[in-house]
Structure 1
Amino acid sequence: MKKITIAIDGFSSCGKSTMAKDLAKKIDYIYIDSGAMYRAVTLFCIQNGLFDGNVLNEEKLKKQIAEIEIIFKLNKDTNKPETYLNGVNVEERIRQMDVSNKVSIVSAVTFVREAMVHQQQQMGKAKGIVMDGRDIGTVVFPDAELKIFVTASPQIRAERRLLELRNKGDQQTTFEEVFENLKERDYKDQNRAEGPLRKADDALELDNSHITIEQQMQWLLDKFNHVIDDEK
């Protein structure tokens, strides 16, 4: 069977990563979390003192960007891919609020996006991948055979994000903080100069505010099978 590229874009905390992981597992494709790559670069900046408040030292980062290696390894116990930054597992660390609050700053930098897009395109050369992010269908893989754009109401997205934080042991962050973080990220993602978040003209839109995970998966499989049948 011919393999295709599946690009999943959409707003923060729509469950894109979980959706993409589950779909990849279901159809035996490779999953690549592009958002985790930008989070990993953000963590690198935090760890190396490249932030002064919310101001990023772009000159220093530019000199070090070539040193940043991000790969994904499958955790054999959970059967889920995890993010490694220069050989260190940072999957849980990159999901914390200090990274969330600064990732939009880092991901808006032109040379960062160019470096990450290059890595992503190298990963996707062999097809048979599912990748999620903000500009996968518009910039990284504009020729992807299946493009999905995911959305949900801000209220529901904030509730999902807060639950995720609680499940990881964060009992301090408030709903209001998460909600404001989401609104700020939405604005930055949609208005940045490089690779802004937008629905590709040929993308299928999925609003998952009020559907179950099972219904969502069935919808995705139907769209996937439709494309595969057309490719035969």
Structure 2
Amino acid sequence: MTSITSSRTRPIVAIDGPAGAGKSSVARRLAERLGFVLVDTGALYRTVALAAQRDGIAFDDAEGLERLTHSLVAANAIAFAPAQGREPRVSFSGEDISDAIRTPEMGMGASIVSAHPGVRAALLDLQRKLGEGGGVVLEGRDIGTVVFPDADVKFFLTASPEVRATRRFEELVAKGQSVTFEGTLEEVKKRDAQDMNRAHAPLRRAPTAILIDSSGNTVDETVSKMADIVLAHGKNVNTGEEG
């Protein structure tokens, strides 16, 4: 298993939080603001869910999913490419699947497959390898608690279920999907319960994570607040800023 380095010269920024809190947008813009690399861990699990669906592997087939995930990691089948002002593009065996993994079905699928210890273990080393050098922003459910418990700056980004459902509903409508607000809110609450109550690596706030409630803030306001916090740690984590 890849060890977690403590000699990095640039910080690791971990962002955890529930679905719909805006982690993807905030993490992307924060990485751009700081000049860091964004590692979208949620996209990894969504990709596993999509690959499983295509291979006819049920989301509750723990052994099948573990074998599949190990094969994807061994083949370096998952890759990220930056996209200025948008979520990173994700490719699977050379195919751009960025849009295919951003559906409600794949979101729920990612929540289910990520609950399997074998899948998480298979992706753990990959996540650590992508972020171990520092100068990265990682977002997910267990970045600050499991993947990088020694991250230099940890955030727990959240918002009320109603605010998160509204954001998700507007996003899906903009993509032309036929959804209702009530159905979206129910999905958000179901996803919260599923993520917080799973037996392995449940969603929780790390003891040292800074709570950021984005309910009444724009993405830019949230990013500015978080960037100030990261830069304030500059002298301790060698960002090059005077802090």
Q: Tell me by how many angstroms 1:63 deviates.
A: 2.8
Show structure 1 runs of 4+ deviating over 6 A.
Answer: none
> 2:190 matched to 1:189?
no
Name stretches of at least 5 consecutive residues in structure 2 with no aligned partner: 1-7, 239-243
Cα distance in 2 for residues equivalent to 1:49 and 1:184: 24
With over 3 angstroms needed to count, the CA separation of the structure-2 counterparts of 1:181 and 1:80, relative to structure 1, is closer
Structure with bigger strand share is 1
Q: Tell me by how many angstroms 1:79 deviates.
A: 6.5
Amino acid at match of 1:165: L
> 2:66 matched to 1:62?
yes
Amino acid at match of 1:66: H
> 2:180 matched to 1:212?
no
Amino acid at match of 2:135: G
- Partner secondary structure for residue 56 of structure 1: coil
Amino acid at match of 1:122: K
TM-score (norm 1): 0.92
With over 3 angstroms needed to count, the CA separation of the structure-2 counterparts of 1:224 and 1:65, relative to structure 1, is same
Aligned residues: 227
CA deviations 1:133-185 (Å, max 9, x no partner) are 00000000000000000110000100100111112221x12112211111111
Cα distance in 1 for residues equivalent to 2:147 and 2:80: 18
Contact 1:10/1:133 (CA < 8 Å) preserved in 2?
Answer: yes
Contact 1:104/1:189 (CA < 8 Å) preserved in 2?
Answer: yes
Cα distance in 2 for residues equivalent to 1:180 and 1:227: 39
Q: Tell me by how many angstroms 1:74 deviates.
A: 2.1
CA deviations 1:22-77 (Å, max 9, x no partner) are 010111100011111111111111111112xxx6222322332222232211247x
Q: Tell me by how many angstroms 1:213 deviates.
A: 2.3
Cα distance in 2 for residues equivalent to 1:79 and 1:157: 19
Tell me the equivalent position of 1:200.
206
- Partner secondary structure for residue 150 of structure 1: strand
State the percentage of identical aligned residues. 37
| RMSD of aligned residue pairs (Cα, Å) | 1.7
Tell me the equivalent position of 1:175.
181
Tell me the equivalent position of 2:22.
15
Cα distance in 2 for residues equivalent to 1:79 and 1:178: 23
Tell me the equivalent position of 2:170.
163
Cα distance in 2 for residues equivalent to 1:209 and 1:96: 23
- Out of 19, 32, 37, the residue aligned to residue 30 of structure 1 is 37
Name stretches of at least 5 consecutive residues in structure 1 with no aligned partner: none
